[in-house]
Amino acid sequence: MANSDEITLHRATAADLADVVELNRVENDDDRMTTGYLDWWYFNNPFNSFSFFLSRIGGRACGMCSSNDAQFVINGRPWKAGFIQKVLTSNEVRGKGLFGKLYVKTDTDFLERGGDCFLAFPNAVAKPIYLAKYSYSHGIYPDLTLLFTNPLHLAAGSQHEVVTQLDSTFFRQPTFQFENAMKKDEKFLNWRYLTFKSEHYKYVALAVKQAGKLVGYAFLKKIQKKGLPVFVLMDVAFHQQADLAHIIKQARIYAAKQLSVGLLYMGNPLIDAATKGVARKVWRNQFDFLVKGKNQAETDELAKVTFNFFFGDLDFV
């Protein structure tokens, strides 16, 4: 067993990605992570802003930590948020403090690049460490809601079409900005849903019309939940809040015609209101969600915010 003096830590580059994939395969048995995915998610992200560090021992990758940055509007103000996405060390070096060194390096790098806050959906291992050592607080956990399929939608007429590119003229006008949510534009949506394809990452982009006019988009992904087909609402884009109910209805009609049991979305009060009366199942506390500002006052402020997340905000979905 090597001592900690032989462990190196450096900023990851595209040349390191194969070793990162192998580290995750060995330690996490994770087949969703590929070099193509990592190159897309970090090195080709339109925000072009991330922290990614790798440790090696004897030339082998033995630890990593990464965060991807996004622009949010929180309490009416712009915030640059860092999503801590992966902190992993190999069994070979556990107990040597590498987890902490990697995390602190990533945290410091983000703040030096002008970051404002951290948002994290940690696993069971990382959660107590973030809370005890790195000054995180519990955020308001988002709900998970499944809108059940309406059998009548099987025969309903549709006002949507599956598209493989976005209409750039639609995005000349800024799209609706949800409160306490990530800022997104045509460049982000095109990157997120139309530029990377793999067995795990298959998305459906629905262009939704009303009276023949394009009023918005819904971005979906088909998954299995408890062995049943479900469509996940990854994102929406529209101009007028009044169009949201129609867009969600068209997404539900599409999901019904694909013989799924429903449409799944992360807690969102506007979508809740736009689908009032629709049969649903709501799960509470399905996500561990932690927040941290640059100081305790900011952390306390963030802990009281009800965020409007979409599944598309998260990695590996």
Structural domain count, the chain: 2
pLDDT tens track for 162-221: 999 999 999 999 999 999 999 999 999 999 999 998 888 899 999 999 999 999 999 999
Cα separations (Å) of 106 from 12, 54, 79, 87, 102? 11, 10, 18, 10, 6
- Judge if 153 and 251 occupy the same domain: yes
Exposed / middle / buried, residue 111 (Cβ in 10 Å: 0-12, 13-18, 19+): middle
pLDDT at 2 over 70: no
Average pLDDT, the chain: 94
pLDDT at 302 over 80: yes
pLDDT band with cut points at 50, 70 and 90 for residue 5? low
Condensed to tens digits (0 to 9), the pLDDT of residues 205-223 reads 999 999 999 999 999 999 9
Residue 271 burial by Cβ neighbours in a 10 Å radius (0-12, 13-18, 19+): buried
Tokens, residue 121: 């959906």
Instruction: Tell me the mean pLDDT in the region 233-242.
Output: 98
Q: Are residues 261 and 183 part of one domain? A: yes
Same domain, 159 and 277: yes
Whether 35 contacts 26, CB under 8 Å: no
The reply to whether 270 and 172 lie within a common domain is yes
- The tens digit of pLDDT for each residue in 87-136 reads 999 999 988 899 999 999 999 999 999 999 999 999 888 999 999 999 99
Q: Is the separation of the CB atoms in 177 and 73 below 8 Å?
A: yes
135 and 175 both lie in a single domain: no
Asked if residue 193 and residue 96 are part of one domain, the reply reads no
pLDDT of 317 above 70: yes
Q: Confidence band (pLDDT; 50, 70, 90) for 3?
A: low
Local structure of residue 239 (DSSP, 8 states) = S
Alpha-carbon distance of 261 to 228, in angstroms, equals: 7
Same domain, 246 and 296: no
Q: pLDDT value at position 1?
A: 46
- Examine the domain organization and report whether 277 and 157 are in the same domain: yes
- Alpha carbon distance 203, 232 (integer Å): 10
Q: Which domain holds residue 151?
A: 144-283
pLDDT in tens, 46-67: 888 999 999 999 999 999 999 9
% of the chain exceeding 70 in pLDDT: 98
Question: pLDDT category, 21, cuts 50, 70, 90?
Answer: very high
pLDDT in tens, 64-80: 999 999 999 999 999 99
CATH of the domain at 215: 3.40.630.30
Q: Please name the residues in contact with 317: beta carbons below 8 A apart, sequence gap of 6 or more.
A: 221, 232, 234, 311
* In a shared domain, residues 193 and 106: no
The bridge status of strand 228-238 relative to strand 213-225 is: antiparallel
Query: 269 and 159, same structural domain?
Result: yes
Residue 110, SS3? helix
Query: How much is the pLDDT for 76?
Result: 97
Same domain, 41 and 101: yes
| Residues 103 and 206 grouped into a single domain | no
Full DSSP string of 141-208: PPPEEEEEPPGGGGS----EEEESS--TTGGGSPPP--TTEE---HHHHHHHHHS---SS---EEEEE
**What are the φ and ψ backbone dihedral angles of 5, each rounded to 5 degrees?**
-65, -20
Cα–Cα distances in angstroms (integers) from residue 316 to residues 140, 192, 202, 208, in the given order = 22, 12, 12, 26
Q: What share of the chain is helix, strand, coil (3-state, %, to 5)?
A: 30, 30, 35
Least confident piece of the model among 12-26, 28-42, 107-121, 229-243: 28-42
Q: Which residue has the higher pLDDT, 11 or 315?
A: 11
Beta strands in the chain (DSSP E): 7-11, 50-57, 60-74, 77-89, 117-120, 137-138, 144-148, 160-163, 181-182, 204-210, 213-225, 228-238, 262-266, 280-283, 290-293
Tell me how far apart the alpha carbons of residues 280 and 148 are, in angstroms, rounded to a whole number: 6
